[in-house]
Structures are given as structure tokens and as C-alpha cells.
Amino acid sequence: MIQNLNNLVKENADETIISNPAIPNERNEEAVKEASASIEDSLKNSLAGGNVGEVVTLFNGNGDNVNTSPVTQQATGNFMDRLQKRFGLNFQQAASVANNLIPNVLKKLVRKTSDPADTSFNIQDIFNEASGGKTIGMSVQAMMNKFKTGMDKDRDGDVDFQDLKKFFTGSGGVVDKIKGLFK
């Protein structure tokens, strides 16, 4: 996965890394690897920290939820730190590079994993690698489908605020079940 992720970052790094005068040309490849490692580390940290739902939610859409994902925010912050420490970029420079690169790469990664015609990334392989092999033998796609259909209360194909609202307040929602306990 990491080689494909490096390639995906490189494909999207023209303006943010390659043409950026703050990052010396001889260190462009190193900066690309740092961006890839930031994404991979964020996926690993989320899964290791028990935040499977964050990762599932990230990959369950078509990439439109990437900017609000805690995984994206963590990867962006990690990459900013690496740019400041390893490349000497100031906060504004690092924020500009990270905020322009990481969400775009993750959006494309999500789209590639959901495109059956694109075999460059496989959701099962991503979870297997990010979890240190703990998801081997488990159908990640089935888990994601169950999460999506179980939480998609308005059946519009995504899990959003409207679904959460129905989950808690709709007929048969959590609030109704709690009310039933006190009758």
C-alpha cells in the first residue's frame, strides 16, 4: 500500500511540494514520503486507538466527507509537524502545504477504493496493513456495508446529521426506546 500511496501523493504534489521553493528540490521525494507516512500513521493510530468508526466513515463515502474526518485532520497535523521539524518550514508554509495536499490525496484514495475498475487500492489491504494484520480474515467491505446500512436511517446512501437525528429521535429511535422503559 505504501508504494501506491507514495505514487498517489506524488501525482498530487506538483504545486504543494515539487514547485514549492520552501522545499529544496533534492528533498522532494523525502517530503512525498513524509506525506504518505502521515496518512498511513493516522490510519494506524485511529485503528489502534479503537476509532474504527472514524476510518470506516472516511472510506464509506465518495470522498466528500474527507475534510471533516478526524483521520484527515490528524494526518494533516502530523504532516505539518514533519514539515516544520524536518524541512524548517514555518507554521503558515507547513499549514498551506499540508492543508492543500493531504485532504486531496485522501479524497482520491477514498474514490479509488470505492471504484471497482481501479485496482490500485483495495480497502481490505488498507485495513490489513493499517491494523497490523488484525483484520485479516475479516470482511472489511461487509463491515462497512453493515455500518452504512445500519446507520443510514433516511436511506440516502450516506451517514450524516439527518441520520443521527433520526437515530435518536425518529420512530423506534434511542429516545423512544428509553421512553418505553419508564412507562
Q: Average of pLDDT values for 124-152?
A: 71
Q: 83: closest CA among 99, 68, 107?
A: 99
Share of the chain above pLDDT 70, in %: 75
Look at residue 143 in the predicted model and tell me its pLDDT.
Answer: 67
* pLDDT level of residue 154 (50, 70, 90 thresholds): low
Q: Provide mean pLDDT across the span 105-119.
A: 90
Helix (H, G, I), strand (E, B), or coil: what is residue 21? coil
Residues contacting residue 26 through CB under 8 Å, at least 6 positions apart: none
More confidently predicted of 74 and 6: 74
Q: Stretch 20-30: mean pLDDT, rounded?
A: 95
How far is 123 from 168, CA to CA, in rounded Å? 30
Give me the pLDDT at residue 170, please: 52
Longest dimension (CA), the chain: 71
Mean pLDDT across 163-176:
48
pLDDT band at 152 (very low <50, low <70, confident <90, very high): low
- Greater model confidence, 48 or 141: 48
| Rounded-to-integer distance, Cα 8 and Cα 5, Å | 5
Average pLDDT value for residue range 136-164: 60
Q: What is the pLDDT of residue 116?
A: 84
Average pLDDT score, the chain: 81
